[in-house]
Structure 1
Amino acid sequence: MKKVPFDLSLYLVTEESLAVEDMTTIITEAVSGGVTAVQLREKQASSLTFYQKASLLKGVLDELSIPLIINDRVDIALAVGADGIHVGQDDLPLPIIKTLVPDNMIIGVSVSTLEEALEAENNGADYIGVGSVFPTKTKQDATALKKGELERICHSTSIPAVAIGGITADNIKRLSKSGIAGAAVVSAITQAKNPMDAATLLSYTIKRFTN
């Protein structure tokens, strides 16, 4: 099966501390504002809790025609029929993952150097998450990009690159002309008073400053 076209321009990564009811409400509102993809990220949850959240969220996002991408856990992605899987540098190697998942599953890889980006592309990644582009409190172990590395990565690879790390509607303009296909955000939406308004502003700003 071929992969369906996907849009990563405004990529929402969930916040684990949120109750599942609050999470689904925020996601629904954020999609109304322009979120185009959602990644479920659960670092501390048990396998059962992760599965239950993923299953619920898959149903919600199917109704909204938005892809669900699971962070790290190939087993959870397969169990709920997720649209994609996103892995880091310390997770299963991409060639192994590709033997485990269906051909139509979207695969993303986190990178912070040009070498990692080229390896991900050569191994068949569908997109790369590049960061951290700005300081972030969401991921304490995030590696800060060297100056100019985002541009080097985007201009040296042919797969979509999504910037991540501390992105807000105020600083996204600093990534203008970098070549990114989109931006991944967490607190800029999950901590907003009005997730739909926050997503609307981010979506408008991303399209204005990254095209």
Structure 2
Amino acid sequence: MINDFPYRLYLVAGEADCMGRDILWVAEEAVKGGVQLVQLREKHKTTAAFAQTAFRLKEMLDKYNVPLIINDNVDVAVNCGAAGVHVGNSDMPPSGVIQQWPQCGMLGYSIEYLEQLNSIEMHYATHLGISPIFNTPTKNDTVTEWGLEGLKKIRILTNKPLVAIGSMNAANAHNVIKAGADCIAVVSAICAAQHPAKAAEKIRNNIENAL
């Protein structure tokens, strides 16, 4: 485990992922169950609406000392006092994030091609989102389905912390950690669960048992 990235379970959520329930309720239940990091992902909202949710979420997460990451919107991240930003291949590159926000503490970068590991952008990323491990309906604009073998290959090629995302759940969390991930990022297995806290707790337990 990379010492400066002590997170095991990471929630990625937008309001549309929460099955009509309040995203604050879902996120707080998830944190109670063992989530240590939350990313707000709102690709289709106005900046004002995105910011409004981000401020509410940040206020709640501060009570638990859980960092908030904002997906691909530096302005929202800075304005709400988030811990960092996550960007993908179709977003602003990590170097652009640092130009715009030099104090960005956590900068996640989605890896969809092995060639990205040789990019100058790697220098700016604090951790890597390996996306997707398994194809998922919550994100349909990805390129490579890495699988466990792809994850193992990336683990050999970089010492950056690896966050695995893409159909992550309690059933596969153990094997994904064993394949080299430092952290599991979950969307539906928590957001769509009847009891998000219980779902998070089960996944977190399976992660811890794999370490």
The TM-score with structure 1 as length reference comes to: 0.90
Tell me, in whole angstroms, the C-alpha distance in 1 between the residues paired with 2:120 and 2:142: 18
For residue 24 of structure 1, what is the aligned residue in structure 2? 24
- Indicate if the aligned counterparts of 1:134 and 1:144 stay in contact, CA closer than 8 A: no
Map of 1:72-87 to 2, 5 A cutoff? 72-87=72-87
**Counterpart Cα distance in 2 of 1:22 and 1:121:** 35
Determine if contact 1:131/1:164 at 8 Å carries over to the other structure.
yes
Cα distance in 2 for partners of 1:136, 1:29 equals: 23
Match status 1:54 vs 2:54: yes
Deviation at 1:113, TM superposition (A): 2.5
Q: Name the stretch that deviates more: 150-159 or 53-62.
A: 150-159
Q: CA RMSD in A?
A: 2.0
Structure 1 residue 6 displacement after superposition:
4.5
Matches within 5 A, 1:100-139: 100-119=100-119, 122-139=122-139
The Cα shift of 1:123 comes to 2.3
Q: Deviations over 1:137-180 (max 9, x none)?
A: 11122333345221111221111000000011112233242111
Match of 1:145 in 2: 145
**Contact persistence 1:109–1:120 (CA under 8 A):** no
Structure 1 stretches of at least 4 aligned residues deviating more than 4 Å after TM superposition? none
Q: For 1:60 and 1:16, how far apart are their aligned partners in 2?
A: 15
- Indicate the residue corresponding to 2:190 in structure 1: 189
Matches within 5 A, 1:144-163: 144-146=144-146, 148-163=149-164
Q: Which amino acid aligns with 2:79?
A: A
Determine if contact 1:85/1:106 at 8 Å carries over to the other structure.
yes
Name whichever of 114-123 and 68-77 sits farther off.
Answer: 114-123
Residue deviations 1:76-126 (CA, integer Å, cap 9, x gap): 111111101000012112212112214352100011222213426642210
1:19/1:202 CA distance change after superposition, 3 Å: closer
Letter in 2 for 1:16: E
Contact 1:15 1:190 in 2 (8 A): no
In the TM superposition, residue 202 of structure 1 has moved relative to its aligned partner by 0.4
Q: Deviations over 1:19-77 (max 9, x none)?
A: 89611111111111100100000011111100100011111111110000000011111
Q: How many matched pairs?
A: 207
* Amino acid aligned to 1:127: H
Aligned to 1:174, the other structure's residue is in SS state helix
**1:190-209 paired onto structure 2 within 5 Å:** 190-209=191-210
Per the alignment, residue 168 of structure 1 pairs with 169
Q: Is the 8 A contact 2:177 2:183 kept in 1?
A: no
Single out whichever of 118-127 and 163-172 deviates more from structure 2: 118-127
CA–CA distance in 1 between the matches of 2:94 and 2:123?
Answer: 6
Normalising by structure 2, report the TM-score.
0.90
Taking a change above 3 Å as real, the CA distance of residues 124 and 109 of structure 1, as seen in their structure-2 partners, is same
2:6 is the alignment partner of 1:11? no
- Opposite residue 190 of structure 1, the aligned amino acid is C
2:106–2:126 Cα contact (<8 Å) kept: yes
Unmatched runs of 5 consecutive residues or more in structure 1? none
**Partner of 1:138: helix, strand, or coil?**
coil
Q: Determine the C-alpha separation between the residues in 1 that align with 2:21 and 2:126.
A: 31
